[in-house]
Structure 1
Amino acid sequence: MTQFDSHPTRKQKSPHRHRDKSLGTPELIAIALGGMVGGGIFTVLGISVGMIGVFTPLAFLIGGAVALLASYSYVKLGVYFKDEGASYAFFKKTFPGSHFAASLIGWYVIFGFISTLAIYAYTFSAYFLSSFDWDAPTWARQLVAIAMLSGFALINSWSVKGMGKLEDFLVYGKLVILAIIAFVLINYADASLPELLPDTDQPLAFGFQILIVAALTFVAYEGFQLVANAVNEIDDVERRLPLGMYSAIVIAASIYFLIALGAVLAIPFEQIIENKEHALAAGTSEALGKWGLYLMILGALMATSSAVSGTLFGASRQMAVIAEDGYFPEPLAKRSGRHIPVYAVITMATAASVLILVGNLKMLVEFGSITFLWVSLLMAVANYRIRHLTKANPTITISAIVGLGLASVLILYYEVRHSPATVFVIIGLYLALTLSAWLYARWHCRKSK
């Protein structure tokens, strides 16, 4: 017997599969877009314009290309294994025999999702309270963010189909709003791209800056992998999984490109850099007046809401699978009568609420971004290792490994240069998670003997 004989093939049933197929292609695209088009575009835009100015739209397209390369391995592994444990399950089954490796990737991935839940909820709170003529204190922002997390935890615990329909409304609604804002900004522009081109006598150094920003934009694409967590609710996985994931990335990249193009053409660079996540609101207010400001706020609220809903849906199922395998507390594996991992949903929302109360969410979302970049690299390595089983194209897989590896180096280089203190804290978080994973792996080994 080989190490792969125990893996589910396309003709076998995954041990985690149940039989209520509720999600079609529109819902899958909505889940991925919900996880992607959240807080990323609102925070990365200011950093990008500050570094490369008018080339920001190009950086988002390069980031989208990297995301497409990364998604290829998720699709191939997802279709082959058909396991809602997604990245955790794929890596564990590709490299069997190491309890520590399985536990480690599980802890890293789940904590990365929790950190993104926290930043999305806090961003929702900031935009919601900005619609009132009130300088909201920190406690008010925390209260609104936690209330929002609680609401979506209840929705995700109640019904898969209900969550899917709500996600459809939020995602496609926010895409329409963001597209309107992008085209309005482009039409409002009083400058052209050639006029905004920088004067530089070091084109190679500037090109390197563009690649760094492209790596940083990966934070705006994390979330596409949530579709792989939904295999138990998908009919015709071989067709719907790739269609849903690839389509979502292309749509997200198109929206990001248009928004970034409209921003650099219509809003002064100084204003974007100074306001950062509020730059789009300020720009639309100037172009459209008061209703433009409220339209932008509505788009931000829908974007962050769908990001929280989609992340809770996918990540809770992954947490339940990890708990079933013994690397998280056993109660987290329990399912409701509708096969929904209610305890995992509640735990993720609670943990994200704790992070909101602790604060320093910017550092946590940077940790999450680095984690997902690294995990995507591991998925590409796993896909290459069993390419004869997943029927993966070796050229595409190797290109993904190179692209994700380069992006990982570039983003670490940026953090070391611009925020060395953050790097030390992130290393501390990794060490704490590694210790927790090691302890659970030892406990699992003793239990299984």
Structure 2
Amino acid sequence: MGFIQRDDDSCHRERGRDLGVPELIAIALGGMVGGGIFTILGVSVSMVGVFTPLVILIGGILAAFAAYSYIKLGVYYQDEGATYSFFKKTFPASPFAASLIGWWVIFGYISTMALYAYTFSSYAISGFAFGDNEWVRKGVAGGVILLFTVINLWSVKGMGKIEDLMVYTKLVILAIISFVLINNANTSLPVLFEAQPSVNVLSVFILASITFVAFEGFQLVINAVDEMDRPERNIPIAIYSAIGLAILIYVVMAFGAILAIPFEDIIHNKEYALAAGASHVLGHWGTDLVILGALLATSSAISGTVFGASRQMAVIAQDGYFPPLLARRVNRIPVFAIVSMSLLAFILVLAGSLQVILEFGSVTFLVVSSLMAFANYKIRHLTRSSKVVTALAFLCLLAGTVFIFYYEYVHQPQQLVFIVSIYALLTIGAWGYSTRYMYWRNKGKVE
């Protein structure tokens, strides 16, 4: 009937041991430190200038609040369906809610894949005469999506080792870039603060919300629960370690950038701000180093997102809320889910702009993270969660969502219409599949 019924022990399958803590941290960091600082720097400096590092720090704290409920639910349920499965199991009487959150979170991941691929291509061709050609940029983005689709179809262990190599190499490169930028500072913080136009507190919180997608990616660790050992230990270690490292990397690089690169250069070259600025400050070798760091960062982000999100997509399809073909696996690898996500990400690259993709991703993960906090609050006695921390996390994440919609309504109403339209289409799709699910459940074909 188009449904593949999961048995009650589906989340207690024999676990593989292909991925240890280093690989899990690499998957989370790969998902976060991707578009990350390379994407949000120009947007942040244009809005709040010298307060950019503060914005990044607040975004990291918001991500830590979001991670708290993900970790508690992940350890309790131990299901690779992650966000979707947590909500479905916590609220079993609402198929539409389960379908809706599944559709939203998967397309949120697809938007981040598009964001990382777009950033990759912007840096990859920045030194060429055709660097500003939009269609060349989109073609290169499609090429890198294809490359990491093939890698993820190859093998879990192979993907894990490649992810290790890319992530830990890029961390070294980013550390070198940060040190060199700070060492070549042409101004100081007191001078920047003196020249800084007034910035209100609301603007800082709005921007921290808009750039929240830079910390999206830690959830991908939970999608790998069937490929890890001792999830009750490894999930918290991997996620908290990755968030801490991401905050450190972003803040240090932001300080280096604002001290060494003129603000006008950062703002003018938003898509590849660090590379453009480094060419004036550090010369040709500095530009090459920045580009290499950006390519590694975005590559590992694409790979980690494809890995984790495709497994979640397969679980959702297995329950009947996506086409059943997407649930099929070959050697434990969800082949059709991987291919489908990659194709949709490329379509979004062709259709959207960097700013729209960035904001759609941030809104989606703020909404979904607030729903995770709500679910965790409901069963806090089972997950052994703090009532105060969980409630505070929910309120902060909900506030972040409101901030973005307020900003869009005031400054970019047409973009707000576009984002709301995407959500409307996703909601219609989720409603259609949940209705179909209920029909077959009433027929006794599914539980």
Note the 1:361-372 alignment, pairs <5 A.
361-372=354-365
CA spacing shift, 1:336–1:16, aligned 2, 3 Å: farther
Note the 1:29-178 alignment, pairs <5 A.
29-135=25-131, 137-178=133-174
CA spacing shift, 1:72–1:255, aligned 2, 3 Å: same
How far apart are the structure 1 equivalents of 2:174 and 2:395? 32
CA spacing shift, 1:423–1:268, aligned 2, 3 Å: same
2:184 aligns with one of 188, 197, 202: 188
* 2:253 aligned with 1:294: no
* TM-score relative to the length of structure 2: 0.94
Letter in 1 for 2:300: S
How far apart are the structure 2 equivalents of 1:44 and 1:71? 21
Letter in 1 for 2:409: V
1:221 aligns with one of 209, 215, 225: 215
Note the 1:270-309 alignment, pairs <5 A.
270-309=264-303
Tell me the equivalent position of 2:377. Answer: 384
Tell me the equivalent position of 1:264. Answer: 258
Other structure's SS at 1:224 match: coil
Tell me the equivalent position of 1:254. Answer: 248
Can you list the C-alpha shifts for 1:100-129, whole angstroms capped at 9, x where unaligned?
A: 111100111111111111121122122212
324-333 vs 393-402, which moves further: 393-402
* 2:183 aligned with 1:206: no
Tell me the equivalent position of 2:438. Answer: 445
How far apart are the structure 2 equivalents of 1:127 and 1:104? 35
Other structure's SS at 1:21 match: coil
* 2:400 aligned with 1:404: no
Tell me the equivalent position of 1:322. Answer: 316
Letter in 1 for 2:176: I
CA spacing shift, 1:186–1:201, aligned 2, 3 Å: closer
Q: Quote how far apart the aligned CAs of 1:198 are.
A: 4.3
How far apart are the structure 1 equivalents of 2:234 and 2:93? 32
Tell me the equivalent position of 1:421. Answer: 414
Letter in 2 for 1:39: G
Maintained 8 Å contact 2:130/2:136: no
Other structure's SS at 1:223 match: coil
1:243 aligns with one of 198, 217, 237: 237
Q: Quote how far apart the aligned CAs of 1:16 are.
A: 6.2
Can you list the C-alpha shifts for 1:17-72, whole angstroms capped at 9, x where unaligned?
A: 34322111111111011111111322221221122211111111111011011101
CA spacing shift, 1:133–1:361, aligned 2, 3 Å: closer
Maintained 8 Å contact 1:7/1:81: no
Can you list the C-alpha shifts for 1:319-354, whole angstroms capped at 9, x where unaligned?
A: 0000000000001101112x1101100111111122
How far apart are the structure 1 equivalents of 2:201 and 2:154? 49
Can you list the C-alpha shifts for 1:254-291, whole angstroms capped at 9, x where unaligned?
A: 00000110111111122212222322112222222101
How far apart are the structure 1 equivalents of 2:350 and 2:185? 40
CA spacing shift, 1:278–1:374, aligned 2, 3 Å: same
* TM-score relative to the length of structure 1: 0.93
Maintained 8 Å contact 1:355/1:361: no
Maintained 8 Å contact 1:27/1:168: yes
Maintained 8 Å contact 1:66/1:403: yes
Tell me the equivalent position of 1:3. Answer: none
Maintained 8 Å contact 2:112/2:358: yes
Q: Quote how far apart the aligned CAs of 1:253 are.
A: 0.4
How far apart are the structure 2 equivalents of 1:107 and 1:170? 30
Tell me the equivalent position of 2:226. Answer: 232
Q: Quote how far apart the aligned CAs of 1:398 are.
A: 1.4
Can you list the C-alpha shifts for 1:175-226, whole angstroms capped at 9, x where unaligned?
A: 1111111111111112221121147897xx6222222222223121011111
Q: Quote how far apart the aligned CAs of 1:384 are.
A: 0.6
CA spacing shift, 1:336–1:445, aligned 2, 3 Å: same
How far apart are the structure 1 equivalents of 2:191 and 2:409? 33
* 2:424 aligned with 1:431: yes
How far apart are the structure 2 equivalents of 1:50 and 1:422? 18
Other structure's SS at 2:128 match: coil
How far apart are the structure 2 equivalents of 1:105 and 1:298? 36
Maintained 8 Å contact 2:11/2:78: no
Letter in 2 for 1:366: E
> Runs of 5+ in structure 1 lacking a partner?
1-5
Letter in 2 for 1:436: G
Tell me the equivalent position of 2:3. Answer: none
Tell me the equivalent position of 2:351. Answer: 358
How far apart are the structure 2 equivalents of 1:159 and 1:291? 35
Letter in 2 for 1:94: T
How far apart are the structure 1 equivalents of 2:71 and 2:7? 17
Q: Quote how far apart the aligned CAs of 1:7 are.
A: 11
Maintained 8 Å contact 1:14/1:82: no
Identity %: 58
128-137 vs 240-249, which moves further: 128-137
Other structure's SS at 2:157 match: helix
CA spacing shift, 1:274–1:135, aligned 2, 3 Å: closer
Note the 1:4-15 alignment, pairs <5 A.
14-15=10-11
CA spacing shift, 1:332–1:201, aligned 2, 3 Å: closer
1:331 aligns with one of 306, 311, 325: 325
